């Protein structure tokens, strides 16, 4: 598959907050091939989460473009101009966030079927059947009628993943989905993501969990100061980094872990 066209192609992404006062992305170029599982690591404020948010069209960009499946769906012509977003293309991308993502007034099934019914015009019965199948797959069948407030953090995140999958995304973005969880709940969520990985779902993951990064990544990108510092297979970036800044970061993180 190494000759296939890129699934995602980011070109010269620049993003700043406060009219250019704080630069978060300083020219990001990343190509992602179909089937790749890219884990983005790096220090806080290094632009990792911003990168995912930009890909989802949640943030304006100053300049650059992103294409998906060969179609440019996000582009900007300069600071202060409105970022152009092709919402049709964006619908192929699913995203799961750190927290507060389930709609508290809807039960689990209603959370899952809202978008399929309202966005794609799917019938309620059909969407509910699919929801049921997904919930069973993720061990959540018993929670179909529960409200988010009645779920544990881990269950909430698994529901959020199921909800994103209801739209049949061709790429999944995970933005620190286990960071807000109690330690004993982390693995049930990571198991679900690993299960998706085993089905070759392309994904881009921002995480601070190096064990998880090592287990799931087919490629690791180290982002710091708004640029890609190092990019390569997990054995290289996590095991034997070439760049001094990556080495420092990895040393510090693993030192804390052990």
Partner 1 sequence: MNYTFDFNAVSISPLLQGLWVSLELTAAANVIGVVLGFVLALLIMSNYRMIRLPFMLFVELFRCTPAIVQIVWIFYCVPMIFDVFLDPITMGVLALGLNLMAFNAEAYRAAIQAVPREQLDAGIALGLSPLQRILYIVFPTAFRASIPVLLTNGIVIFQQSALVAIVAIQDLMYQGKTLATETYRPIETFTVVALIYFAVSFPITQIVGLLERRRQLLSS
Residues binding partner 1 (CB under 8 A): 53, 56-58, 87, 90-91, 93-95, 97-105, 114-115, 118-119, 149, 160, 163-164, 167
Report the residue number, 47 or 57, with the smaller CB distance to partner 1.
57
CB of 13 to partner 1, least distance (A): 19
Alpha carbon distance 109, 103 (integer Å)? 11
Distance in angstroms between the alpha carbons of the first and the last residue of the chain? 37
Coil, strand or helix: which one is 200?
coil
| DSSP line for 66-107 | EEETTEEEEEEESTTSPPEE-HHHHTTEEEE-SSS-S-TTS-
CB 168 to partner 1: min, Å:
11
The continuous run of DSSP H or E covering 74 comes out as strand 71-77
Comparison of 61 and 210: residue with beta carbon closer to partner 1: 61
Closer Cβ to partner 1, 92 or 187, answer by number: 92
């Amino acid at each position: 598959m190494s000759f296939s066209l890129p699934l995602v192609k980011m070109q010269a992404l620049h993003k700043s907050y406060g009219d250019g006062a704080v630069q978060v992305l300083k020219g990001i170029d990343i190509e992602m091939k179909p089937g790749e599982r890219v884990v983005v690591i790096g220090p806080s404020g290094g632009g990792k989460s911003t990168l995912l948010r930009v890909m989802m069209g949640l943030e304006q960009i100053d300049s650059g473009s992103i294409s998906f499946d060969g179609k440019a769906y996000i582009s900007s012509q300069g600071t202060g101009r409105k970022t152009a977003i092709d919402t049709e293309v964006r619908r192929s991308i699913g995203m799961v966030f750190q927290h507060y993502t389930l709609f508290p007034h809807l039960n689990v099934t209603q959370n899952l079927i809202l978008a399929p019914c309202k966005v794609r015009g799917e019938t309620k019965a059909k969407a509910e059947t699919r929801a049921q199948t997904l919930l069973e797959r993720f061990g959540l069948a018993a929670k179909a009628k529960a409200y988010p407030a009645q779920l544990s953090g881990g269950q909430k995140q698994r529901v959020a993943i199921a909800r994103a999958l209801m739209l049949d995304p061709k790429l999944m973005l995970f933005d620190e989905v286990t960071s807000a969880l109690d330690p004993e709940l982390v693995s049930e969520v990571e198991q679900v993501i690993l299960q998706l990985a085993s089905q070759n779902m392309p994904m881009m993951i921002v995480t601070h969990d190096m064990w998880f990064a090592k287990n799931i990544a087919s490629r690791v990108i180290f982002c710091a100061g708004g640029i890609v510092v190092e990019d390569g297979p997990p054995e290289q970036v996590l095991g034997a980094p070439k760049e001094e800044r990556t080495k420092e970061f990895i040393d510090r993180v693993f030192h804390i872990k052990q």
